[in-house]
A and B are shown apart, each in its own frame.
Chain A
Amino acid sequence: MTTKYSFIGTEAPRPDAPDKAAGKAVYIHDLVRPGMLFGKIKYSECAHARISHIDTSRAEKLPGVRAVLTGDNSPQVRYGFIKDNFVFKRDKVRQYRDEVAAVAATDPDIAAEAVDLIRVDYEEIPAVFDPEEALQGGAPLIHETDGRGKPKKDNLVPVPWRFVSGDVEKAKQESAYVAEDAFETQLIQQSCMGTAGCIAEFDLQSNLIMHTKTQIPFLAQNDFNQALSAMGLKGKNSRVIVPTLGGSFGTGLDTHGYEFIAILLAYKTGRPVKIVLDREEEFITLSPRQPTRSRILQGCDKDGKLTFREIHMILDNGAYTSWGATTPSVMMLPISSIYRVPNVLYDTKIVYTNNTYCQAMRGYGNPQAAWALEGNLDHLAEEAGIDPYEFRMTNRNIPNDLTPMGLNITSCGHKECLESVAEKLRWKETRGQGRSAVDGKVRGVGMASLFHVGGSGRVYRSDGSGVIMKLDDFGNVSVIAGGVEMGQGFDAALSLASAEALGVTPDKVKVVTGDTATCPWDVGTHASRGAFTSCNAAIMAARKAREKVFQLAAEHFMPRIQFKEKRKQKKDPDYRMPDLDFERMLKPSDFDMRENVVFLKDDPEAPLLHLRLEEILREAHYKEQGTMIVTEAFYDPCNQMLDMKTCRGNLSATYIFGVQGAEVEVDLETGKVRILRFAAAHDVGQVLNRQTIRGQIYGGVMTGIGYALCEEYKTDRGKNLNPNFLDYKILSAPDVDFPIDVDCIETHDEEGPFGAKGVGEPGLVPTAPAIANAVYDAIGVRIHSLPITPEKVLAALRGEKV
C-alpha cells in the first residue's frame, strides 16, 4: 500500500536520541539542586516482627547528619493502592524491605554511615511466605486491621476478581476433550538500567516540588498531596517534575516509600533531599512482578472448537498492596476473550504474605495468564489430536465480535498473525519433526497468542490524556503532553503524529512532557496507552490549530501574497505580477497545510499561492490586537471501567493481537534450551514510527525470553538472595544469537490515531509459552513452571513434574 501519510510509518530517528547518545540527558542520578541533602533509608532486618525499640542517638550525633526520622517523630503517612502501607513502620514490620527509619545528611557517605548507626530491636513473630499456607486457618495475620482500621480475619487482599460467563460445568460435561494443568510463574524484577530516585523540596509557601522517576506524574501528585495533608499541610500542592527515565517497565506506576521519606526529610530540614536507590536497594525495595499459581481446564468439542475455560489463580501479593493488585483485571481479558470461548470461569485470590510486595510490570498480569492459557491450549489440542496451529486457527478471534466479558473487538489481525508466524517457522515442515536426536539434541517449534488492551485500559475514573499545542513565530510547535517518555518512544511517536496531523515537518515539533505544573493532565503512561491516547489528543489539538491557522489565512493569506508580489515588483521593475484569483483564498475552508506550507486546498500546486506557516503566524502576531495560536485537547477513550461485581465492561477502546513462535533446540544431556529462530507478528493497527515499533517488539521479546529461560528473583523466607546482576541474570547481547522476525500487521483501527493501536507491552506477553510449547514439541514433556531452566528440563526428561 502506498502511504497517504508524509511521516506516519516512516523510520524516523527519535528526537530524544541525540542528547542520550551524547550523555547529556539528565536522569535523576544527574540532577543536583542547590543546598541538597542526601537521604538514606534503614530497612527492616526481619520478615515479620514487632518493633520494640529504635535507637537513633548515635546517628543523630554523626557530623553532617541533618535529620533522623522514624515513625515516632514524623507524621503518619499512609500510601498504597488500598492505603495499607505506612511510610515508617511503628508497630511492626511485615517484610524485609519495610522502612523503619531514615536519615538526611550533607553527603551520601555520611547518610549511609548514619543509617548503619541506627539500632532497631525486634521481637520476631511467626511469618508466612507461601500464599496457600497464608490462606489456611491459623496462619499468621500479616495485617491485623485493614486500611480503615477494621479487624482482619484472614490474609486475603480485599480486591476479589471473579468472572463467570455461561455454564462451565455443563460445558465441561459436554466437551469431547478436556485438558487440565497447573502452572506457576516466578517473581521477576523489572531491571531498569537507571535505578529509581527522587529529589523532594519545598518552596516557601510549603508547596512541594518533586523531581521523581514516575510513569504517573498526575496520580503521583494526588498521592503526594494526600501526604501533605497528613503532614498538616492540607491545601498545599505538589508539582511533579519527571527527569529522563532510565527505563521504568511498571516500577513507576505506584508511589513509593522512598518518595514519601524524601518529602518528610525535605520538610524537616527545609532543604532539597535526594534519594537515589543503589542497585541492591533497587532489587530489594522495589516491587517485582507477581508470582502466580494457576489451575486451568479447557475443553473443546470433537471438531476442536473451544467449549469452556476455567482458571483458578492465586497471586502472592506480598506484604502490602500496590496497583499490582489490579493485574487480574488485565489477566481477565485473555482469559475471557482470547480465542472464542462461550463458557468461562475465572477466579483469583490475592494473598498477603511476608514476602516483598509486588507491583505492575510490563504486560500487567498478561504474561502470567498467557503462560497458563497457551500451555494448556497446546495440551488440549494434543488431546483432541489437532495440530496446535490449526487448533488456534479454528478458535481464533475475529473482527467485530463482542466477547462474553463485553469486550468490543473491532479491528483484529489474529488470523494474519497466526499465518505469519506459521510461515516464518515453516510450521508444516518443522512441527513434530525434531524429536529424533542428532548429536544429543532435539528440535521443536511452538507458538502462542496474545490479547491485550490496544486502546488504553480504563482502570481509573478518567482514562484521559491531554495535549497542548503551542505555535510560535518561527513555525515551531510545542506539543505539551501529560504522558511520559520512559524509553519506549513516546516523544518519537507523538512528534510524528503531531507533525502529520498539523501539517508541519517533525523537526518543527518539540514534545514537552514531565511537569504537572505546565503539562495537561494524563492518567499515566501504562497499559500501552501512551501513543494511543496522546496521539489521539494531538490529532484533536492539531485539528483545532489548523482551524485557527486557516482562519488567520483567510485574513492574511491574500494581503501577504500581494505584499510579496509588490515587493518583487519593487525590486525588479520588469516583474509582471500574475493574474491571481484572490476570490479563491478568502474563506478558512479554502486552505490546506502540509509540511509547514499553507496552500489552496483545491489547487495545491498553484504557483505563488503558498505561504510558510510562520509567515501567517507572524502576520497575525505583529499587528494591533494581534493573536497567537495555542490549542488544547483532552482525549478520553470510549472505553469503560469494569463493573466490579460482574467484571464486565469494554475496558479498552480497541484490542491488540499478536502471535509469537520459536524454534528451539534442546540438549538432552545438559537440558539447555537454545532458540534457533524467533518470530513475532503483532497486529499494531498502523505503524506510527517504524524504527521505534521494532525496538519495542525486540525489547519485549528479549525480556520475554529472560522470563522464559533465566530470570528469577529468588527468595528464602522473604529475603532476596540475588539482588544484583551477578545473580539476577538478564540477557546480554551474545544471548541474541538467533534471528528475530518482526512482522507488523496493519489492521487500521478506527479508533486509533491514524489507525494505530498500543504496542508497548505486548512484545513479552506470549514469549514464554511460545518457547515452552516449542520445548514440548522437541522433548515431548511439558514444563509447567517458569523459568524453563536446564535443571527443570532434565527433571522433566526424567519424568518428574516441573
Chain B
Amino acid sequence: MKKLITFTLNGYEVSAEVESHRMLLEVLRDTFDFKGTKPGCGQGECGACTVLVDDVNVDSCLYPAFEIEGKSVTTIEGLIDEGNKLHPVQESFVAHGGIQCGFCSPGMIMSATALLRENPSPSDGEIKAGISGNLCRCTGYVQIVESIRDAAERLQENAG
C-alpha cells in the first residue's frame, strides 16, 4: 500500500508517496537523498540512524514512514546553517576529536543535540546516558563526551 505523506524536513514542507512498509530512514536516504543519516544495524541498537522527530531523538530505522505525517524531522544536514556553517554541536565534535571514522557521528550529534535541548548543562553522567543509544567503535567515547561538554558551553554562550 502507498500513501502520500507530508511533513516538515529540515525546515521545509515536503511530500512524497511512500510504501507502507518503509521506515523513515529509507524515506530520508532514498526518497529525499539525505544520506547523512546512516544505516547501522536496522534494529535500534546502534543509533547511527538517529534523527529528531518533533525535537526528540529517535531511531529512524524503526520509525514507520506513515507515522511521519504532519511531523517535523531534523537530520544532520538540517543542523547546518547558511554558508556551510556547522552547528555548535558539530563544531565541538570537530574541535575535540569526537569524530574518527565518522559513521556514528551524525547519529551521535543528533542525540547530543536532543540532550542539550532538554538539559543545557548536563553532567558527564547525563551526557553518557544521553548518548547511550549511540554506539561508537573508534573513539572510546572519551573525546565525544569532551565534545558534548564543550558544545554545552558553546550553546550557552550563544544563548547568553
Contact = CB atoms under 8 A, between A and B. Distances in A.
B30 to A, nearest CB: 10
B147 to A, nearest CB: 10
Given A489-B100, A733-B127, A733-B128, A23 B139 contact: no
A736 B142 contact: yes
Given A699-B137, A736-B128, A193 B40 contact: yes
Given A725-B135, A730-B137, A17 B94 contact: yes
B16 interface: no
Interface of B is mostly: loop
Nearest to B136: A193
A246 B101 contact: yes
Given A20-B99, A725-B43, A733 B141 contact: yes
Contacts of B105: 20-21, 23
Interface string A7-37: 0000001101111111111110110000000
Given A23-B75, A279-B42, A733-B131, A694 B99 contact: no
Nearest to B93: A21
Interface of A: 13-14, 16-27, 29-30, 190-195, 244-249, 278-279, 486-489, 691-692, 694-695, 698-703, 724-726, 730-734, 736-737, 740
A21 B134 CA distance: 15
Contacts of A27: 38, 103
Contact of B102 (A13, A487, A736): A487
A23 B37 CA distance: 7
B140 interface: yes
Contacts of A702: 139-141
A32 B101 CA distance: 20
A726 B140 contact: no
B64 to A, nearest CB: 16
B65 interface: no
3 tightest A-B CB contacts, nearest first: A23-B36, A487-B101, A20-B102
A584 B127 CA distance: 60
A231 B96 CA distance: 49
A724 B86 CA distance: 33
B24 interface: no
A474 B97 CA distance: 29
B76 interface: yes
Given A247-B101, A279-B40, A692-B97, A737 B128 contact: yes
B14 interface: no
B53 interface: no
B109 A21 contact: yes
A356 B132 CA distance: 31
Given A18-B86, A22-B86, A23-B35, A701 B43 contact: no
Given A23-B75, A247-B103, A740-B142, 6 more contacts: A194-B101, A695-B140, A698-B139, A699-B137, A732-B131, A733-B131
B77 interface: yes
A725 B101 contact: no
A191 B137 contact: yes
Interface of A is mostly: loop
A20 B105 CA distance: 7
A682 B36 CA distance: 35
B43 A726 contact: yes
29 contacts: A13-B97, A14-B94, A16-B102, A21-B76, A21-B93, A21-B94, A29-B39, A190-B137, A192-B103, A192-B137, A193-B103, A193-B135, A247-B101, A249-B137, A278-B42, A487-B138, A488-B138, A489-B100, A692-B100, A694-B142, A698-B139, A698-B141, A699-B139, A699-B140, A702-B140, A732-B133, A733-B127, A733-B132, A733-B134
A284 to B, nearest CB: 14
B41 interface: yes
Contacts of A29: 35, 38-39
B97 to A, nearest CB: 4
B80 A22 contact: yes
B129 interface: yes
Contacts of A486: 101
Contacts of B96: 691
B54 interface: no
B97 A14 contact: yes
A17 B43 contact: no
Nearest to B106: A23
A13 B106 CA distance: 17
Nearest to A698: B140
Contacts, number: 180
B145 interface: yes
B99 A194 contact: no
* B interface, size bucket: 35 or more
Contacts of A692: 97, 100
A732 B100 contact: no
A487 B105 CA distance: 11
A23 B129 contact: no
A194 B140 contact: no
A416 B100 CA distance: 29
B10 to A, nearest CB: 11
B100 A695 contact: yes
B104 interface: yes
Contacts of B95: 13
A248 B101 CA distance: 9
A695 B94 contact: no
A25 B41 CA distance: 19
B77 A17 contact: no
A194 to B, nearest CB: 4
B89 to A, nearest CB: 9
A193 B104 contact: yes
Nearest to A21: B90
Nearest to A279: B41
Contacts of B128: 733-734, 736-737
B154 to A, nearest CB: 13
A714 B120 CA distance: 41
A703 B135 CA distance: 12
B121 interface: no
Nearest to B21: A109
Output the residue of A731, A733, A737 with the most chain B CB within 10 A.
A733
Contacts of A489: 100
A694 B97 contact: yes
A248 B102 CA distance: 12
A101 to B, nearest CB: 23
B45 interface: yes
Contact of B76 (A22, A488, A737): A22
Contacts of B109: 21
A16 B129 CA distance: 27
A248 B138 CA distance: 10
B73 interface: no
B101 A245 contact: yes
A740 B102 contact: no
Contacts of A20: 99, 101-102, 105
B100 A487 contact: yes
Nearest to B102: A20
Nearest to B19: A109
Interface string B118-131: 00000001011101
B54 to A, nearest CB: 20
B139 A194 contact: no
B51 to A, nearest CB: 10
Contact of A736 (B29, B77, B99, B140): B140
B48 interface: yes
Contacts of B132: 732-734
B138 to A, nearest CB: 5
A736 B36 CA distance: 27
Contacts of B127: 733
Contacts of A725: 41, 43, 45-46, 135
Nearest to A703: B137
B114 interface: no
Contacts of A694: 97, 142-143
A223 to B, nearest CB: 24
Nearest to A22: B80
A698 B102 contact: no
